[in-house]
Chain A
């Protein structure tokens, strides 16, 4: 018997140690600062957000940003308590595992550009029975392509998955991919590198959030003041940029943001915002119930949300308290 106990001691200890170490990751970090988890690297496209964060810092909110490899990892950081505020659209996470997080600010609407090699295709009808490349299964890019196929009464022979708009742009240039969907930066890059070789196909009726802010419900109630300041600065910055996109270049200099940006990318700052602002990419009022419902419909099509989108309740995914308080202060436009 003693031998038996002795033999079991090793595995038992190992099991307890393993469980303890697994459990350790669940311990929430102290909310002495607002730790933002960004699911991408900082680029020209995130300058507006970085400016708003700098302004929140000026008003005494201690903001720290960590850039993660993907939105999934960023959302795990928020759920696990390693970060306070995340950037992304974690609808699946909220619905499927009942994560106690709520979205509270719509930063940008989804704007992607289906693009084809004009040597082979000219419009949506030409893509009937053809292969297209999108970012990933269940991604927004796939949902847009599926939605547009539905609207144009066509079907793709195959959807291949090539993560990264820059990788898809490279594949388009090399000729490995003939039809894909890219973001505005890569659309411009393709138009510059091979003028006339590619054509952007029209997209209509796609209303969905690309990036939104979310946080643990506990964090939102305990740090209501800091969150409100952050939302106010986001609203003010977004409105300033929507009124004059050129201001981004000056604000970037003022706050010394992305100081290592290469000269060629520096020239893209103003054009990016000048092009994006008229498309309504940056909402003036930080989202609404209607925007949330549009997201349900879109992300259900993308396969992120399960069930009939019409039956989903906005309050199960969003909280508008911080936004409404901030709007009461800065006004609605």
Chain B
């Protein structure tokens, strides 16, 4: 059973944690370990029966139960052999080192010295455990600094409950827009970071991809209250087509098959030789026209015919630019 394993793992940190601090409040310990106070009490109860081999008088770890039950304070003695935590495992050390490197690359110049100092100390303490970190590398996209700046502004607005004026690019319609929003939260999904907010322009809940925000300004106005508005459940993906959307049938040649994996399709039909017929919901017909143009002949709109004509017209007028 993994319960005992997890508990022992926690105890091997809890015992030195308390000993390095003389005494700790139960609440603080629970917060630092990310568990409920009742779990810490259960863990401490295990220690009653632990100690030096033989468990004779004076061999047992001594937990001050009066202090725990009376004042909610943990004191512990007679465990001199467990004053240091277990060394970092290779995944623990590497995950932390890689995260620190990302912090270093994503931050501005001023944070580098402190991150470098921290990395050096952590690598020294992790010893062999840090070796894997050399094999995991993160090269942040170049626009990451810009996205982080926008994110900082939005987090500030969230913390202070203020409205934000956003300059936002809408690729589906190729529009640069200006709008005021009431921020709800910042979420990461499918490799991008989004602001979920109430949009005053659309009068609805919207997701804004941070790398498409050209400008973010915190306003003095406090956010409006939106009773009954809940954050969207993103576990089903970002594109949540509505039943009101147009249903289109598109034929995908092998080179365009990725479309079926990238966008939520309602149905797929294998046509042999790698070709695929899919149906998908389309909120904005112009989006599908742009997509099919991009696919350059590897995709064909079969239904509705209006859309297929729109693609044909768009290609004709684009070709006019080359004659």
The reply to whether chain A is a binding partner of chain B is no
List residues of B whose CB falls within 8 A of some A CB: none
List residues of A whose CB falls within 8 A of some B CB: none
